[in-house]
Structure 1
Amino acid sequence: MPKVKSFFLPFIVASLSLILAFLNQIGFAQEFNCQVQVSAPQIQQTNREKFQELRKGLYEFINERQWTNYGYKIDERIEGTLAITITQELSSDEFKGKINLVLRRPVYGTSYNTTLLNYIDDDFQFQWQEGEPLEFQEGSYGSSLTATVAYWVYIFLGMDFDSFSPLGGTPYFDKAQSIVNSAQGARETGWKAFEGMKNRYWLTENLLKSSYSNIRKAMYEYHRKGLDLMQGNIEKGRQGCLDALEMLQRAHREKPRLFLMQLVFEAKRDEFINVFSQAPPMDKTKAVNILKEIDPSHANDYQKILSAGK
């Protein structure tokens, strides 16, 4: 009998390996499927492979690291783009530049992806040299490069979760805030309150301040009770979007010109116009009035809603 068992053992092991590999393919993955780009068009480079290595390292840092305790199916991974443009080479291992950040979310029952964030972070300075591993540990600042990228990863997570459940992104905004706190002694900019009103410090401040929470609640309303319903019931879905605009209007009247509100409109402006261009006349008028009140510099764009479809 022992000989029979040993005879079948290799086949059993091989079968289990195939099953596990199959389950891994159809089962769970990391949270992100992010495109990563690194370019340095203004810098004369003798070693372009250096930035290719950095791009590869950042791709793995974002997409292959476990950022939450949740299991994501492969087709549930969060889609986004992180494009770094290096504008200055301060030394052989220190650089300045900007990060173009785009976060997308699928709309239920469609092939359409809606934009949750479209922002350029201009406060980006970091040190890195070839062969240096990209390491990050929660609760410590470490390097500016990984701290900044991890910060935006947590913002991506928080905004994605907020769009599926009311204030669902709070744990990830808390993690981003923890990075901000640990960066208060850093020499790099973008982390401190006094450096300007549109930076990483103020974004997490806006996101976590309870008196501004209507903006985040509106994003849930807009996506789950608005866009996600439009494929099956366009009137009900559009009403959800209009309810979300009214929530944004209330938030605007309580505190105008918030950085977070500006980010919402940078991401959603064109979509707002598309959503309400085919609405009934009364809804068009209400939407246009709200949009022009919150975002007056683009009033002419919103005015086009009234004539659309005629």
Structure 2
Amino acid sequence: MRKLASLFFSVCVSAIAFSQSIMADVKVDYSQVQVTNTQVYETLQRSLTNFINSTKWTEDRLKPHERIEANFLILISKKESNRYTATLQVQSRRPVFNSTYYTPILNLNDTNFTFEYTEFEELIFNERKFSGKNLTDVFTYYVYLILGYDADTFVKDGGTEYFKIAQRISNFGQGSRFGGWSETDGLQSRTSLVNNILKADNKTLRTLSYQYHRNGLDVMADNELRGKNALGNALLQLEFYTRGTYAQFYPLDIFINAKKDEISKVFGGGQVSSVNTEKLKEILNSISPKNTSLWSNLKK
């Protein structure tokens, strides 16, 4: 478990409830555009950070150290008046029980992000109505996606209610003039992603995520071998995705992208597990051949 701790900075934590609020860090990178006045970007960054961190996303009253930690990076590539073209990187993580280690949950890039923003405008989200500017709608969609992914790691299918809210937001988005929402925008569009998360095809992955975190990682501080065995046996269920047409199944890509380094670290040393690591390597190489160098590190 000590090897895992080197992946992320350490913060002492206690056991937490699955329905958390967000503690977000928002960065706006405008290095790709010519800028004479940086203030609008700095204001946007502050406004979005405040919007996320001050909004009550769940009904629970939680302490600051119990919140999900999230990072949002907006990379501006074009600005025309008050219209911006950008990509958005979204990351989240949650603490592992009885340890100083944080485990990555979500790590994705939204490459079809266009929005309108006027400096100092109030950022408001209405769940029943699309804003018409796309900014708060996209961020709120990802907040609920983060909440859903996080909840799934604590309770089996615990994130369903949050995913359904994200799905409603995406349905409004499909009727807007902004790209990135419609299923015709590709398999990584916001609607395609949340629809696939809620489909039966993703049931195995969601159950696996619960077992990986609650029966695996959350146990390792107290019993490394038991946790490691549970984590590895959960991963063996990925075999389900080697038998169908899942080569472009985005939820699977998201899981692997978030967990690949962690998996390599867990099975790169430590106590010898009973997990069939040769079978696990075979499965991982099948579903994610681009990470073969990481999978080759897997031992008992």
In the alignment, is residue 263 of structure 1 matched against residue 254 of structure 2? yes
Segments of 4+ in structure 1 off by > 6 A? Answer: none
**Using the alignment, how far apart are the partners of 1:246 and 1:174 within structure 2?**
28
Partner of 1:60: 50
- Quickly say closer, same or farther: Cα 1:281–1:68, change in 2 above 3 A: closer
**Using the alignment, how far apart are the partners of 1:170 and 1:65 within structure 2?**
20
Offset of residue 139 of structure 1: 2.2
Partner of 2:98: 109
Partner of 1:253: 243
Larger RCO (alpha carbons 8 Å, 6+ apart): 2
Partner of 2:29: 39
In the alignment, is residue 293 of structure 1 matched against residue 282 of structure 2? no
Of stretches 203-212 and 157-166 in structure 1, the one that deviates more from structure 2 is 203-212
1:180-259 to 2 correspondences below 5 Å: 180-257=170-247, 258-259=249-250
Offset of residue 299 of structure 1: 1.9
Offset of residue 157 of structure 1: 0.4
Partner of 2:150: 160
Partner-residue secondary structure (3-state), 1:305 = coil
Partner of 1:302: 295
Of residues 73, 77, 82, the one that matches 1:93 is: 82
Given that residues 276 and 287 in structure 1 are in contact (C-alpha distance below 8 angstroms), is that contact kept between their aligned partners in structure 2? Answer: no
Partner of 2:3: none
In the alignment, is residue 140 of structure 1 matched against residue 104 of structure 2? no
Aligned positions, number: 277
Offset of residue 280 of structure 1: 4.1
**Using the alignment, how far apart are the partners of 1:160 and 1:299 within structure 2?**
27
**Using the alignment, how far apart are the partners of 2:254 and 2:162 within structure 1?**
18
Q: Deviations over 1:41-90 (max 9, x none)?
A: 0111122111111111100110000011122222101101011111101x
Offset of residue 253 of structure 1: 2.5
Alpha-carbon RMSD across the aligned residues, in angstroms, is: 1.6
Q: What code does the residue aligned with 1:33 have?
A: M
Offset of residue 179 of structure 1: 0.6
Offset of residue 281 of structure 1: 7.8
Structure 1 residues not aligned, in runs of 5+? 1-29
Q: Deviations over 1:105-137 (max 9, x none)?
A: 101111111101111111100001112111111
**Using the alignment, how far apart are the partners of 1:146 and 1:230 within structure 2?**
38
Structure 2 residues not aligned, in runs of 5+? 1-19
TM-score scaled to structure 1, two decimals? 0.86
More helix by share: 1
TM-score scaled to structure 2, two decimals? 0.88
**Using the alignment, how far apart are the partners of 1:280 and 1:161 within structure 2?**
28
**Using the alignment, how far apart are the partners of 1:64 and 1:37 within structure 2?**
17
**Using the alignment, how far apart are the partners of 2:84 and 2:188 within structure 1?**
21
Partner of 2:276: 283
**Using the alignment, how far apart are the partners of 1:187 and 1:273 within structure 2?**
42
User: Once the two structures are aligned, what percentage of the paired residues are identical?
Assistant: 34
**Using the alignment, how far apart are the partners of 1:252 and 1:72 within structure 2?**
40
Q: What code does the residue aligned with 1:194 have?
A: T
Q: Deviations over 1:257-285 (max 9, x none)?
A: 21100010010011111111224486332
**Using the alignment, how far apart are the partners of 1:168 and 1:245 within structure 2?**
19
Offset of residue 165 of structure 1: 0.4
